[in-house]
Amino acid sequence: MKIIKNILLYSSFIISSTLLLTAQAATGYALQITSPQNDHVFAAGDGTVEVQLALQPSLRRGDQFILYMDDEKIAESKQSSFSVEFVGRGEHTIHVDIVNRSGSSIQQSDPVTFFVRRPIVRNN
């Protein structure tokens, strides 16, 4: 029985890996948000959040990134980093799409959730 379980686990890994490679092959891109990391807490500051992306291979001519925060489009760029200012307190979720020159989404990152906590100034 132990040998059969190992074979089944191994075959599941092959199937999962194949699905991931198939998704990348279909779009030509592997896209990931590397910063902020999921569940990161910004404990102080002015509400600026730096978003960094990892992409393989580089963007093709005519393609660009679109950054969404809390399901709202907030920026577009051909660069793999964004600086988002004045992010309010609370929980936020971001994701990035790669769109082609006709505006069609051809790849989407996994969402990343982060939290902003800013100190409260009290006058006593």
Specify the number of domains making up the chain. Answer: 1
Any domain includes 81: yes
State how far the Cα of 105 lies from the Cα of 93, in Å rounded to an integer. Answer: 19
Domain, as residue range, for 96:
28-116
Any domain includes 124: no
- Residues 80 and 50: beta-carbon distance below 8 Å: no
State how far the Cα of 14 lies from the Cα of 109, in Å rounded to an integer. Answer: 22
Omega into 36 within 30° of 0, i.e. cis?
yes
**Which pTM value belongs to this model?**
0.75
Q: What is the pLDDT along the chain (124 residues), one digit of tens a residue?
A: 444 444 444 444 444 444 444 445 556 899 999 999 999 999 877 889 999 999 999 999 999 999 999 999 999 999 999 999 999 999 999 999 999 999 999 999 999 999 999 777 777 6
Domain containing 87 — which CATH number?
Answer: 2.60.40.10
Any domain includes 18: no
Any domain includes 109: yes
Please give the DSSP secondary-structure letter assigned to residue 58. Answer: P
